[in-house]
Each structure stands twice: as C-alpha cells, then as structure tokens.
Structure 1
Amino acid sequence: MEEAETFRRDGVVLLRGLFADHVETLRAGVTRNMAEPGPHAAENLKPGEGGRFFDDYCNWSRIPEFEAVIRDGPAARAAADLMGSRTVQLFHDHVLVKEPGTAKPTPWHQDAPYYFVEGMQTVSFWSPLDPVGDATLRCVAGSHRWPRQVLPTRWLAETDFYADGGDYMPVPDPDAEGMDIREWPMEPGDAVAFTFGTLHGARGNRSDTRRRAFSLRLVGDDARYVARPGPTSPPFPGHGMQPGDRLREDWFPTILHR
C-alpha cells in the first residue's frame, strides 16, 4: 500500500475522500458540539483578536454523529493499514473551528508530548468539513523521527505546558528553517493522516467562509501508557493506568481487530 509506505516514512500522507460519505453527519455533529460544548471546550482568542477559534475534544460518547462515523466509517480500517496494526483503539476525537476572519494560526506542535501514550503505531486523521486552501493543515515530513520531542505549549496563554521541560526541544519555526512542510488544498471529506509525533500547525482563516475540521486520534498494537511531567491533555483523571499498560478498553474501546 503506497499510502502506508509514505505514512511510515514521512509521518504524514493525504487520503482524498476518506470521509466523503460522512461529511453531512460530521457537520451535524460539529453543530451539536458547538451548541452543547463539553468540559474541555476552549475559545482560543484573546480579547481584541478577530474571529473565533473554537475547539473541543473527547465528545464521541455524547455526540451520536461522531460515534456513528467512528464505529461505522472508514477510519479504523485505514488506520490499521497505515500503522500496520492488527488492532485499532480509539483515543479521542477533536473538533477545531475557525470562523471567517480568524487570523490566529494553530501553533506548531506535536500531539505526542501532550498525551499519556507512546508507541510507533499512532495516527491522527484531520478532515475539513469545508473547502480549505490557505487554512489547511501543515505537517513537517520526518519530524516523527526527531530524537527529541517538541515542548508542548498552551495555545491561548502561550506558556509551557510542563514546568519541567528539560527533556523537550523548543518549538521550531519550520518556515524560517526551511523544513519539508507538506500541505494540500482540500475538499470536505479529504483527510490528512499523521502520527502523534509529526509536527503540525495551520495558518489563520482569512477567508470569508468557515473552516470546520474533525480530527480523530487512534492507536495500534504497541501503544502503551506513559507518565509525563504533569497533567496531560486530554487529562483523563482517575484512569488508574501504570506505565507500560495498554490503554484501558472501557475508556478507549477497540474499534477494529484483525
């Protein structure tokens, strides 16, 4: 599978039309999510910054549209193929909405340092529910193989996520440093697949249309719980797992087993 080879080599690959049959369902889910935000919902703009940058995660169990696409859609099979994994476990869902005229970019970051899971078999799908050009996802090819992970930061406060960040490298500037940035104009239902270790970000939405995106985080056979220097995001308090444990099935269900 050519896409799987690209994914494992570069840490990112474009899958045209992966969610094409589920765009309307996901749009309905995003509408419900924004009308009924969950406990992790955030507004990511400071006073005086124009537009609106909303995000929320971990809502699949209360948003039936999300659960239907996760369980019955194509993501699990695609994830197994890309990761080379027999099993696929759900980690969490994530909605990101930039209204027209939202200049604030999504900061460059890797997902892995925010999470309490480690392993080579991880994948995130980022799928726009509106046509995107300039505000598309941007990923740095090969960054999943860097010897040190990037220090996570808080998007609104712009502060370090962990007090002890000595094991992490500072956030780089891929544009200034001439890194290999992969980005594509995308249609609703297209998807970018990337590993938890792939550095990624997005420009602001300066267009006159919304940019709604649905993201899905999945893990495979080798994913294990790992302790971080502080509370993770998502926090999942009271999970009871110890380093080296597989993610608990009652919280992170297996959605495919080959």
Structure 2
Amino acid sequence: MLETEHELFERDGVVIIRGLFKDWIPLLESGVNTNEQQPGQWFRDYTPGQTQGRFWADYCNWQRIDAFNTFVKESPAAEIVKSIMGSQSVRMFHEHVLVKGTGSAKVTPWHHDAPYYPVDAKQTLSLWIPLDPISRESAIEFIAGSHKWGKHFKPLSFNGEYYDHAGSKEEVLPDIDSNRNDYNILGWELEPGDAIAFNYLTIHGAPGNLSKEHSRRAVSFRWLGDEAVYVNRGGKTSPQYPHLIDVLSTGDPLPEDEFPFVA
C-alpha cells in the first residue's frame, strides 16, 4: 500500500490516505480546543468580528500543546510520512490548525507552501488531517503534477497581500479559477481519520465551507526529509522564526532542538 502511495505522491505531488488516523481524532480535537482557548503568538482571525462562518488559524504550537506533541511522537504519522517521501529520516517542521466555521465564505487562495517557508529539504510533506466530514464541494484541492513545474510562485497571504522577497525569482501564480479545465485538479470527499499528504511545491487552495452542519477543522503537520536546511527568503516568511535570521545563513543545517528527528 505504502509503495503505491509513494508512487502517487511522486507523480502527482499529493495522495489521499483513508482512515488511518481515525483513532487519533479525539486527541487532535482536544488539541484544537486547547489551541482556540490558549492561542499562540501567531494566531490569526481571518474574519474579525464574525461569529458565523468564522475562519481562524494558528501554528507552531506543537511543542506546548500536549495533544499535538503526543500525536507527533506517538502516532504512526512519522513512519507513514517516511515511507511516502522515501526518505532516510523525518523531521518535524511545524503544525498548522485551520478552522472554517459552518457556512464560511472565506476562500483559501491558490498557492504552494515552499516559498513561504524558511526551510528546504530533499523531501517535503504536509499531512493534512480533517476532523470533520467534508464534502467534495468544500474540499481542499490540488493541481496534480505542479510540484514538478520547477517554479516558485509569490507567496500570497490569506488576506490577499503578496510577500516581498528581495532578489527572488518568484512568479505570480496563473489565474487557475478562470482556467480550471487547463489543469488536473484533484480533491476528495473526506471523513475524520483520512489524511492528505502533499509536497510543499504542490499548488493547492480551498473554497469556503459550504456545510451548514459541520465546521471544517483540520490540522496539517509539516515534515522535512533528508538534508533539511535553513533558507533566507529575502523577506517575511510564514512561519517567521525571526530568531533564526541572526544565527543561520541559507544552507545551514536546522537546529535539532527546534526541528527534531522523529523517525
């Protein structure tokens, strides 16, 4: 099974994993609840003032929120990630909680993650785990094969502003929504316990949450494979890790206390 998933991941830059984390959903739900009650320094409310259809996110809390820490260290995630990436080792980068309330109209714009991050590795993988049933119409979508385009596209904040990366060769992403038939767009109806694994270079985006019954809660765990290094992007990154700028240069190994080996 994992060999097939590795082949699909290499070909499409994304693969669906069905049901393997079903028993871990209560733990992740407790983590999201703790995160909402005790937000971290990078907490963002993308719909300020709204109670209906609220969209909020937070990240880099896995070392302080016990539920996320337990998932990283004790779940089968790291070994699964290692097999899918085909790497010799797996390191934890960070987790990202994303919650779209019922009826949320807030769209997640098309983007890929690599240009946002101050890190790079020979293999990269995000493991996106939904905590609620998600219809195909509300599902996160991916452009198959886009991880092989050999390009970096300008990072765009969820509020619609481009990051300024001095000296970069980043391009503006094409208008995908107006030309959907030109791309092989993948998406799936999802249940709690499923997971989507995708490369940091795979272009993805998500519509609003059309459900009137369920929020769209998800936790995405970001992993690094072999030869992971720091990268100075020439400007703001997300996550920012501002303390690393003063001590690391592009190509330097990542500190193991902050980005530990898990498998």
Q: TM-score, normalization: structure 2?
A: 0.92
**Partner of residue 251, structure 1:** 258
What is the root-mean-square deviation in Å for CA atoms of aligned residues?
1.6
**C-alpha distance after superposition, 1:123-161 (max 9, x if no partner):** 0011100000122111111111112211101212x1111
Gaps of 5+ in 2: none
Question: Does structure 2 conserve the Cα–Cα contact (< 8 Å) formed by 1:59 and 1:93?
Answer: yes
Question: Does structure 2 conserve the Cα–Cα contact (< 8 Å) formed by 1:241 and 1:248?
Answer: no
CA pair 221-120 structure 1, distance change in 2 beyond 3 A: closer
**Partner of residue 107, structure 1:** 109
Distance in 2 between residues matched to 1:159 and 1:219, nearest whole Å? 27
CA pair 245-98 structure 1, distance change in 2 beyond 3 A: same
* 1:119-138 equivalent positions in 2, closer than 5 A: 119-133=121-135, 134-138=137-141
**Partner of residue 37, structure 1:** 39
The one of 188, 195, 198 aligned to 1:191: 195
**Partner of residue 12, structure 2:** 10
CA pair 51-78 structure 1, distance change in 2 beyond 3 A: same
Pairwise CA distance, 1:46: 5.8
**1:111 is matched by which residue type in structure 2?**
D
Pairwise CA distance, 1:166: 5.6
The one of 148, 152, 157 aligned to 2:155: 152
CA pair 49-109 structure 1, distance change in 2 beyond 3 A: farther
Gaps of 5+ in 1: none
Q: TM-score, normalization: structure 1?
A: 0.94
Distance in 1 between residues matched to 2:51 and 2:145, nearest whole Å? 33
**C-alpha distance after superposition, 1:102-123 (max 9, x if no partner):** 1111111111000011233000
Pairwise CA distance, 1:45: 2.3
Distance in 2 between residues matched to 1:48 and 1:188, nearest whole Å? 26
The one of 57, 65, 68 aligned to 2:67: 65
Larger relative helix fraction: 2
**Partner of residue 144, structure 2:** 141
**Partner of residue 205, structure 2:** 201
CA pair 86-163 structure 1, distance change in 2 beyond 3 A: closer
**1:204 is matched by which residue type in structure 2?**
G
CA pair 48-62 structure 1, distance change in 2 beyond 3 A: closer
**Partner of residue 241, structure 1:** 248
SS of residue matched to 2:217: strand
Distance in 2 between residues matched to 1:167 and 1:190, nearest whole Å? 36
**Partner of residue 226, structure 1:** 231
Distance in 2 between residues matched to 1:205 and 1:166, nearest whole Å? 34
Distance in 2 between residues matched to 1:48 and 1:99, nearest whole Å? 10
Question: Does structure 2 conserve the Cα–Cα contact (< 8 Å) formed by 1:50 and 1:103?
Answer: no
The one of 57, 74, 77 aligned to 2:76: 74
